[in-house]
């Protein structure tokens, strides 16, 4: 994609988002259609289309995404009660933006996603 995704544009500051964390590798911002009281999207600053496109060289980037998510959960006061981290992959997995991203959800009981 020559112009990148909406997430690429948020990372570059070309599109407004409520950014709550940003460093040279990762950007985190509030989801515009939250599914829980806390719903943060955490994206790498470089576009990786899907989880299927992750390579060995991305291991530190993916680890950093999780570390940032945990830090945000602690800072937002949801770590003790619990939270959910979700990454979707491709159409059947529910991926809507083809730039990998981690959903951080919390702030209320979330229940089982498997119904068991």
* Residues classed as catalytic: 101
Distance CA 63, CA 116 (A): 29
Within 1-116, strands assigned E span: 19-22, 26-30, 38-44, 83-86, 102-106
Q: 72: number of CA atoms within 13 Å, CB side? A: 29
The two structure tokens encoding residue 10? 């948020």
């Amino acid at each position: 994609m020559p112009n990148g995704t909406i997430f690429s544009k948020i990372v570059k500051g070309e599109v407004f988002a409520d950014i709550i964390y940003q460093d040279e590798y990762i950007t985190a911002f509030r989801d515009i259609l939250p599914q829980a009281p806390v719903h943060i999207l955490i994206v790498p600053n470089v576009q990786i289309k899907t989880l299927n496109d992750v390579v060995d060289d991305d291991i530190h980037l993916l680890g950093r995404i999780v570390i940032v998510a945990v830090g945000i959960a602690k800072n937002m006061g949801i770590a003790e009660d619990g939270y959910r981290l979700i990454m979707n992959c491709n159409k059947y997995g529910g991926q809507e933006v083809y730039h990998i991203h981690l959903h951080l959800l919390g702030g209320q009981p979330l229940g089982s996603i498997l119904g068991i």
